[in-house]
């Protein structure tokens, strides 16, 4: 697949997905979403396990900060400019802020605090998406699209929050921002080769993310199966943190390929 074909696929998928999702009626936030099964109080903290399970994001963010800003022996750092690393640094910021925002939300789950959970996640999603575009398709386009993608991510949360306050909540843009990159990234991974090794590690990242969504869906079932030790939502946080760690593990271990493999057009 050529670069032009890939951009046509991305733009076409965005147009089709946008048209398709906006043909659906507005999707309000189900208030039952906030009723997580594990509401145990411990050490003065409400919803203790759902709060502290976000520590994983903060630990991964510390590792990512060391890797991208301090570790000079890492090929990702030593063989690329700060500009090339910018989308990964945005992803890093998203991971750190997600740890804080999600913990804040779970202290008092409601639509207002959920904003500060979802907003950092869009930073992470869009940073990762721009990084993949930059490394597989075009570094210039990855950097050009980064601010646009971030604005789209911010708008999706803003749109949901404003419409929710007006009594006609609409999650459609946020759903598009969260799930469309998860469809396009595998397509790009299969059709293009990076100038870096370990490209396929990103498939592992996607598997951990999908596993996180499964645990989120079966929150109460997992809590019951574990003898009310840990809920599906708490495990979801841990799986998502592992997914982000896999990204930085890839960046730490990869090497630049002098002559990247060619893919058929």
pLDDT digits (tens, 9 = 90+) for 116-128: 999 999 999 999 9
**Quick one: CA torsion of 168, 172, 178, 180, rounded to 10 degrees?**
180
pLDDT at 58: 97
Res 22 pLDDT > 80: no
pLDDT at 81: 87
Handedness of CA 169, 174, 180, 186 (dihedral sign): negative
Res 261 pLDDT > 50: no
pLDDT at 260: 45
What's the farthest any 2 CA atoms get from each other in the chain?
A: 59
| Distance of alpha carbon 73 from alpha carbon 102, whole angstroms | 33
CA 217 vs CA 107, 211, 222, 256, 258: distances in Å: 20, 10, 10, 39, 44
| Distance of alpha carbon 75 from alpha carbon 94, whole angstroms | 23
User: Which residues does residue 196 pair with via DSSP β-bridges, in sequence order?
Assistant: 256
Q: Which fold has domain 46-253?
A: Rhopdopsin 7-helix transmembrane proteins (1.20.1070)
> Which of 4-18, 28-42, 216-230 is predicted least confidently?
4-18
- Give 13: exposed, middle or buried? Use CB within 10 Å, 0-12, 13-18, 19+: middle
- Report domain extents, the chain: 46-253
Residue partners of 1: CB distance under 8 A and separation at least 6: 9, 191, 192, 263, 264, 265
Tokens of 97: 């802020």
| Distance of alpha carbon 44 from alpha carbon 248, whole angstroms | 34
pLDDT at 263: 46
pLDDT at 147: 96
> Which of 53-62, 107-116, 131-140, 147-156 is predicted least confidently?
131-140
4 pLDDT band (50/70/90 cuts)?
low
| Distance of alpha carbon 141 from alpha carbon 214, whole angstroms | 33
Contact by Cβ (8 Å): 5, 263: no
pLDDT at 116: 96
Helix, coil or strand: residue 196: strand
The whole-chain average pLDDT of the chain stands at: 90
Q: What percent of the chain has pLDDT over 70?
A: 91
pLDDT digits (tens, 9 = 90+) for 153-209: 999 999 999 999 999 999 999 998 888 888 889 988 988 889 999 999 999 999 999
pTM listed for this prediction: 0.90
DSSP conformational letter for 70: I
Residue partners of 88: CB distance under 8 A and separation at least 6: 68, 76, 127, 131, 251
What percent helix, strand, coil does the chain show, rounded to 5? 75, 0, 25
pLDDT at 21: 72
pLDDT at 262: 46
pLDDT digits (tens, 9 = 90+) for 71-104: 888 898 988 888 889 999 999 999 999 999 999 9
């Amino acid at each position: 697949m050529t670069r032009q074909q890939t951009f046509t696929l991305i733009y076409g998928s965005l147009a089709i997905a946008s048209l398709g999702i906006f043909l659906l009626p507005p999707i309000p936030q189900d208030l039952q979403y906030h009723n997580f099964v594990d509401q145990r109080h411990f050490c003065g903290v409400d919803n203790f396990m759902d709060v502290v399970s976000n520590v994983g994001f903060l630990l991964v963010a510390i590792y990512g900060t060391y890797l991208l800003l301090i570790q000079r022996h890492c090929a990702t750092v030593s063989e690329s400019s700060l500009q090339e690393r910018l989308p990964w640094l945005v992803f890093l910021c998203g991971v750190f802020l997600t740890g804080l925002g999600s913990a804040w939300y779970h202290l008092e789950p409601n639509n207002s605090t959920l904003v500060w959970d979802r907003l950092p996640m869009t930073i992470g999603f869009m940073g990762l998406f721009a990084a993949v575009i930059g490394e597989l398709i075009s570094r210039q386009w990855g950097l050009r699209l980064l601010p646009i993608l971030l604005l789209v991510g911010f708008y999706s949360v803003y749109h949901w929050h404003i419409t929710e306050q007006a009594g006609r909540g609409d999650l459609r843009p946020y759903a598009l921002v969260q799930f469309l990159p998860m469809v396009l990234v595998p397509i790009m991974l299969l059709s293009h080769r990076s100038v870096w090794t370990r490209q396929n590690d990103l498939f592992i990242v996607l598997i951990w993310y999908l596993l996180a969504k499964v645990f989120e869906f079966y929150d109460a079932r997992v809590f019951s199966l574990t003898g009310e030790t840990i809920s599906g939502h708490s495990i979801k946080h841990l799986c998502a943190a592992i997914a982000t760690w896999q990204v930085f593990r890839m960046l730490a271990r990869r090497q630049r390929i002098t002559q990247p493999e060619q893919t058929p057009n």
